[in-house]
Amino acid sequence: MLQRELTTVEICAGAGGQSLGLELAGFKHVAAIDIDRDCCQTLRANRAGWHVIEADLAEIDGRPWSGVDLLAGGVPCPPFSIAGKQLGKLDERDLFPQALRLIEEIGPRAIVLENVRGFATPRFAPYRRQIGTVLDRLGYEVRWTVLNALDFGVPQYRPRFVLVGLRPEDAQCFSWPANGRPPLTVGESIADLMGARSWPGLETWKERARGFAPTIVGGSKKHGGPDLGPTRARQEWRKLGVEGKSIAESAPDPDFPADGLPRLTVRMVARVQSFPDDWYFVGTKTSSYKQVGNAFPPPVAMVIGLSIRAALGRSQDGPRQLSLVSKSPSHR
């Protein structure tokens, strides 16, 4: 039995992948912050009781949330070309300085920040050291690793950098989550969605799709529309029997060639990210796809949340099952 529901403030919450995972791990959101309007509307549509704040992090004063248990977020990384410069003097897309300011203002017991795998490369070592130095000054012991969503039941090769910061007394009790259940293949994961309109090629396609997806990305930066990533990723999707140049409005119908290459819908991509089917995305097809593509898969966020929860000594409970079938803003 949970002793109490732990609290979290989440920054750069996006469409709620990490939010949902932390909720499943027993954390209650006292605030979920994002600058994107559609993302905030998505969060509100799915969790009407959450305190969702649409704002730039620079406008947020963290002091009213002093002492929450966890500050979490998928903080955008600084561009690779400027790694190593001093904190606070990076590209405006880098939100780590704002995250560190909020950590200082809030003083949470624990921190979890996730990022792209590239942030773990030697090129970013000087910047990681600077972040570690600041967090050490604030009283946190820092651990980081790269976790692959595939190891936690997500049918996708999706390695992510994860940084955890804990007070020394809690850090000694922390351990990274162990690998979980094997994932379904792409074909097994979305066959019901792909066959929803009685496409005659479904069974043949399902056999072809007996593999795992490449990393889903939030749409092409060059073209701005929804696609399944750069050329190499689309080639991997083609091996799985999927056309990756765009996103479909619906599943293939009976007239679609049985040997054709179907496209994925937003809901299919959300299933591959391990969102439950009742998680609703607000916005256009392009916006919805980008929200899905940029999300942190809920099962991975859940196991990280459970590891942090165990380190905080609050509960020995296991995870709740993730089913795929279904206060005023504080501004500076």
Q: pLDDT tens digit string along 155-179? A: 999 999 999 999 999 999 999 999 9
Residues contacting 141, CB < 8 A, separation 6+: 165, 166, 167, 168, 171
Q: Compute the distance between CA of residue 53 and CA of residue 5 in angstroms, rounded to an integer.
A: 21
Residues 162 and 191 in one domain: no
Q: Do 167 and 218 share a domain, yes or no?
A: no
Residues 18 and 124 in one domain: yes
Print the SS3 string covering 242-262. CCCCCCECCCCCCCCCCCCCC
Summarize pLDDT for 299-315 with one digit per residue, the tens: 999 999 999 999 998 43
Do 266 and 166 have their domain in common? no
Please give the single-letter amino acid code of residue 233: A
Distance CA 19, CA 28 (A): 9
Kindly state whether residue 96 falls inside one of the protein's structural domains.
yes
For 215, the token pair is 């990393």
Provide the domain limits for residue 266.
186-291
Q: For the chain, which ranges sit under pLDDT 50? A: 1-2, 80-90, 220-223, 314-319, 323-330, 332
174 lies in the same domain as 193: no
In a domain, 108, yes or no: yes
> Rounded to two decimals, what is the model's pTM?
0.89
What's the token pair of residue 240? Answer: 């799985």
Within-domain flag for 170? yes
The pLDDT, as a whole number, for residue 126 is: 93
Query: Does any domain span residue 328?
Result: no
Report helix, strand or coil for 91.
coil
Average pLDDT over the chain, rounded to an integer:
89
CATH number of 19's domain = 3.40.50.150
pLDDT value, residue 313: 85
pLDDT of residue 92: 58
**Domain shared by 18 and 133, yes or no:** yes
Determine, yes or no, domain membership for 317: no
Q: Using an 8 Å Cβ cutoff, are 37 and 56 in contact? A: no
Say if residue 21 is in the same domain as residue 80: yes
Termini Cα distance of the chain: 38
pLDDT value at position 5?
80
Pick from 184, 179, 185: nearest CA to 151: 179
Whether residue 171 sits in one domain with residue 24: yes
Cβ proximity of 293 and 218 under 8 Å: yes
Question: What is the number of domains present in the chain?
Answer: 2
Query: In this structure, is residue 316 part of a structural domain?
Result: no
Q: Are residues 232 and 140 in the same domain?
A: no
Residues 68 and 174 in one domain: yes
Catalytic residue (one of 12, 39, 40, 77): 77
Q: Are residues 139 and 201 in the same domain?
A: no
Amino acid code (one letter) for 193: L
CB 309 within 8 A of CB 301: no
Q: Does residue 67 share a domain with residue 40?
A: yes
Compute the chain's Rg from CA coordinates.
20
Assess if residue 304 is contained within a domain. yes
pLDDT for position 224 = 54
What per-residue confidence (pLDDT) applies to 76? 79
Between CA 310 and CA 287 the distance in angstroms is 36
77 given a catalytic annotation: yes
Dihedrals phi, psi of 284, to nearest 5 degrees: -65, 170
Please, what is the Cα angle at 289 between 285 and 294, to 5 degrees?
A: 155
Structure tokens given for 282: 């607000």
Asked if the structure places residue 226 within a domain, the reply is yes
**Buried-state track 120-134, b at ≥16 Cβ within 10 A, e below 16:** beeebeebbebbbeb
